[in-house]
Amino acid sequence: MRPSAKRYWLRMIGWLVLLYLVACGLAWLAADGIMFPARFASGTAPPGAFRLRLADGSTVSALHLPNPEARFTLWYFHGNGEDLGDIAPRLAEYQRRGFAVFAIDYPGYGTSEGRPSERSVIAAAEAGQRHLAEQGVSVNRILLYGRSIGGGPAVEMARRARFAGLVIESGFVSAYRVMTRWPIFPGDRFRNLAKMPEIASPVFVIHGRRDEIIPFWHGEKLHAAVRGDRRALWVESARHNDVIEQAGETYWRELHAFAESLP
């Protein structure tokens, strides 16, 4: 190779490395804002909501809907464009369908204090688990349920202890890979796929085949990575935000079948 050609390729490689580093930095700086668009949620909390204090002194909103007849408490982790004010009717439907229900708002969502990030969302989940323990609800009576980005904290909690079960609706393998498909950037958030083999609880993965936000292959990979008991519900006509509507009574039948299969 001639010296001039060598210098040309070295410059090209240098520019590519620089562009990659810039892209890494931008991904790191912009990730939380993209992942947690709290401004699109209602900014409210439903009647009956109360406050939980986190380790840093801030508080988040929570809602606990008891059901004396329920075998399990369904702990619901919501998506990134909604809060307790938005999902209160859905939570009430789970209660009507035979579950006790618990949910928390992420920091910065609804009437919760703080700013949302992977770390702060996990801190809020830890506060939620402490509350349930204080109420006498043991982990083997808790069914974790994570929708979309809510799969992140749900998977992390399931990795730490053996809960009764874990449901992932419209979840992703990791946050960055929703955009890049391949793991090309460091500092990824909510690396769910890597954690799946560590989960001892039975897992139920639900995903719409027409999901336009988190493609269907994410659900397939999460399901395939489970080493223990697993089941799946693939909803042919569902997109990202209409899984229950498209699945109809099949959704409720399969959810109850999963709950009934748990020890």
The confidence score (pLDDT) of residue 124 equals: 98
Is the confidence at residue 8, as pLDDT, over 50? yes
C-beta separation of 65 from 55 below 8 A:
no
Is the confidence at residue 186, as pLDDT, over 80? no
Average pLDDT over residues 155-162: 98
Q: What is the largest CA-CA distance in the chain?
A: 81
Is the confidence at residue 100, as pLDDT, over 50? yes
Catalytic residue positions?
A: 148, 211, 240
Q: Cα Rg for the chain, rounded, in angstroms?
A: 20
> Which of the pair, 176 or 66, is modelled with greater confidence?
66
First to last CA, the chain: 68
Is the confidence at residue 126, as pLDDT, over 70? yes
Please name the residues in contact with 7: beta carbons below 8 A apart, sequence gap of 6 or more.
Answer: none
Taking only the tens place, the pLDDT of each residue in 145-155 is 999 999 999 99
The confidence score (pLDDT) of residue 131 equals: 97
C-beta separation of 105 from 62 below 8 A:
yes
Per-domain boundaries in the chain: 1-35, 38-261
Say what the alpha-carbon torsion angle 164, 169, 173, 178 is, to the nearest 10 degrees: -160
Distances (CA, A) of 52 to 76, 175, 177, 228, 256: 16, 26, 32, 33, 29
C-beta separation of 191 from 174 below 8 A:
yes
Taking only the tens place, the pLDDT of each residue in 18-33 is 554 555 455 555 567 7
Tokens of 245: 């509507």
Average pLDDT over residues 123-148: 97
Averaged pLDDT of the chain: 91
Taking only the tens place, the pLDDT of each residue in 226-254 is 999 999 999 999 999 999 999 999 999 99
Taking only the tens place, the pLDDT of each residue in 40-86 is 899 999 999 999 999 999 999 999 999 999 999 999 999 999 999 99
Q: Is 178 helix (H, G, I), strand (E, B) or coil?
A: helix
What topology does CATH give the domain 38-261?
Answer: Rossmann fold (3.40.50)
* DSSP state for residue 171 in the 8-state scheme: -
Q: Which residues of 214-250 are buried (b: 16+ CB within 10 A; e: fewer)?
A: bbbebbbbbbebbeeebbbbebeebbbbebbebbeee
Position 182 confidence tier, pLDDT thresholds 50, 70, 90 = confident
The confidence score (pLDDT) of residue 20 equals: 47
Position 35 confidence tier, pLDDT thresholds 50, 70, 90 = confident
Is the confidence at residue 184, as pLDDT, over 90? no
> Which of the pair, 39 or 182, is modelled with greater confidence?
39
What does the alpha-carbon distance between residue 197 and residue 93 come to, in Å, rounded to a whole number?
Answer: 31
C-beta separation of 201 from 162 below 8 A:
yes
Distances (CA, A) of 211 to 33, 34, 122, 236: 22, 18, 26, 10
What does the alpha-carbon distance between residue 151 and residue 218 come to, in Å, rounded to a whole number?
Answer: 12
The confidence score (pLDDT) of residue 30 equals: 57
Is the confidence at residue 2, as pLDDT, over 70? no
pTM of the predicted model, to two decimals? 0.92
